[in-house]
């Protein structure tokens, strides 16, 4: 495994505080023997410049864009479930309202609503399966 300058800089706080294991101390000392410029920077206290985190400033509208993306994702994900539940309720309502002792009433209203609900349930379940497969 190749040890880079970044690895030694990451290990320097542990090495400098004396909490490093013998193997880590040997690794840091061996690398500093090969890179005298880095050894000079770290030992003279100029390591503060190296160890400072780089501040990244997000764009001013970054939060609004993230919020809009999340909102679109939630709406896009939930529309099949909403429509499946709505048409299921409508189908149930049709079967309840069409139930009578009159043999002339047909169950076509129920059948149409149930078929539409079934289509949206299938769409919802396919999307759910894709999301669950992507997580694994």
pLDDT in tens, 58-115: 788 888 888 888 887 777 678 888 999 999 999 988 877 766 666 666 777 888 899 9
pLDDT given at position 59: 81
CA dihedral (68, 127, 119, 116) positive or negative: negative
41 contacts 50 by C-beta, under 8 angstroms: yes
- Rg over alpha carbons for the chain, rounded to the nearest Å, is 33
Instruction: State percent of the chain over pLDDT 70.
Output: 83
């Amino acid at each position: 495994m190749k040890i880079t300058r970044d690895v030694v800089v990451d290990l320097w706080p542990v090495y400098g505080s004396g909490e490093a294991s013998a193997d880590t101390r040997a690794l840091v000392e061996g690398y500093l023997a090969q890179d005298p410029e880095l050894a000079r920077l770290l030992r003279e206290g100029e390591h503060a410049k190296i160890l400072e985190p780089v501040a990244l400033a997000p764009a001013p509208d970054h939060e609004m864009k993230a919020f809009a993306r999340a909102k679109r994702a939630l709406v896009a994900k939930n529309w099949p479930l909403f429509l499946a539940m709505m048409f299921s309720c409508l189908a149930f309502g049709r079967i309840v309202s069409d139930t009578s002792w009159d043999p002339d009433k047909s169950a076509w209203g129920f059948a149409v609503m149930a078929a539409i609900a079934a289509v949206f349930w299938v769409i919802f379940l396919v999307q759910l399966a894709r999301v669950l497969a992507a997580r694994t």
